Amino acid sequence: MTQEQHKIILAAQDLVRLNLGGEPTGHDFYHVQRVVGLAQTLAKPYPHIDGYILTLACWLHDIDDRKIVYHGAHVGVDEFMLLNRVDQTVAQRVKDIIDNLSYSSSLLGKKETTLEGQIAQDADRLDALGAIGIARAFAYGGNKGRLLVDPTHATPATVDHFAEKLFKLEALMNTPLGKTMAHERSAFMKHFIATFEKEVDQSKTPLPSE
Ligand code: ADP
Ligand code: NI
């Protein structure tokens, strides 16, 4: 990476700290930092990819997401690119990756067409899985005022999000290593959900009378 590119990555990191530092729905600075780290792990088998584009896309991937609770003065991705004089081709490639990254984009039929995009997408999905994924789901649901579980299914509860989305991610992974890691993390989540449901069932049984 050139010195200029390194400076831009540091600026992106500062922006995430400023905008998402204390974000309460599981999209905080450390979520983004984990995505950057996971992307580096997933990129190891592909030394020819553009590490600068990948890292910049990962740092900026949640900056313009409307479901997120921002704080501080909000600088968007476009403004960031202008302020930091990011090369237009690079800016466009990064914006394309971010546009196609989310689960809702994939439901609209959008796909990551570059290896950099596929790796960034896998990294973000992995952070929605496993023990961290469980913690993030309940943080998100709590912040949106949802119940942990609603046995009557009258309201959307966080525990329903696992079947609705999180267990579908494994099949959508792009890279072989991403798939392996997603499989391991999903297995842990399945164990958690099975235990969760067992405990809900146990609590339905009336206590034995004394
Ligand atoms: P995406 O944009 O692809 O959804 P993000 O990283 O922005 O990916 O956010 C996904 C995270 O948000 C997941 O960890 C997930 O647990 C949480 N999340 C989103 N919707 C819900 C929901 N309805 N209930 C619980 N968690 C949710
Ligand atoms: Ni994310």
Supply the residue whose CA is at minimum distance from atom 25 of ligand 1: 137
Instruction: Among 165, 167, 186, say which to mutate for ligand 1: greatest number of ligand atoms within 8 Å of CB.
Output: 165
In a 13 Å sphere around the CA of 69, the CA atoms on its Cβ side amount to 10
Q: Quick one: which of 122, 105, 114, 96 has its CA closest to 179? A: 122
| Separation of CA 206 and ligand 2 centre (Å) | 42
Q: Quick one: which of 62, 63, 40 has its CA closest to 51? A: 40
Report the pLDDT value the prediction gives residue 69, as an integer from 0 to 100. Answer: 62
Report the pLDDT value the prediction gives residue 75, as an integer from 0 to 100. Answer: 85
Over residues 186-203, the pLDDT tens digits come to 999 999 999 999 999 999
| pTM score, whole prediction | 0.94
Instruction: Give the integer Cα–Cα distance in Å for 116 and 93.
Output: 9
Angle, alpha carbons 166-135-182 (nearest 5°): 40
Report the pLDDT value the prediction gives residue 181, as an integer from 0 to 100. Answer: 98
Report the pLDDT value the prediction gives residue 74, as an integer from 0 to 100. Answer: 76
DSSP H stretches of helix in the chain:
3-20, 29-43, 51-60, 77-83, 88-101, 103-107, 115-126, 130-143, 160-164, 169-172, 176-204
Chunk the chain into consecutive blocks of 10 residues (it has 210) and report each block's average pLDDT, rounded to whole numbers: 97 95 93 98 98 98 78 81 98 97 94 97 98 98 96 95 98 98 98 97 76
Report the pLDDT value the prediction gives residue 71, as an integer from 0 to 100. Answer: 59
Instruction: Among 59, 140, 146, 173, say which to mutate for ligand 1: greatest number of ligand atoms within 8 Å of CB.
Output: 140
Report the pLDDT value the prediction gives residue 196, as an integer from 0 to 100. Answer: 98
Measured from the alpha carbon of residue 103, the closest ligand is: 1
Measured from the alpha carbon of residue 32, the closest ligand is: 2
| Separation of CA 62 and ligand 1 centre (Å) | 11
Report the pLDDT value the prediction gives residue 210, as an integer from 0 to 100. Answer: 56
Report the pLDDT value the prediction gives residue 22, as an integer from 0 to 100. Answer: 86
Cβ(128) – ligand 1 distance below 6 Å: yes
Q: Quick one: which of 179, 149, 173, 143 has its CA closest to 161? A: 149
| Separation of CA 156 and ligand 1 centre (Å) | 14
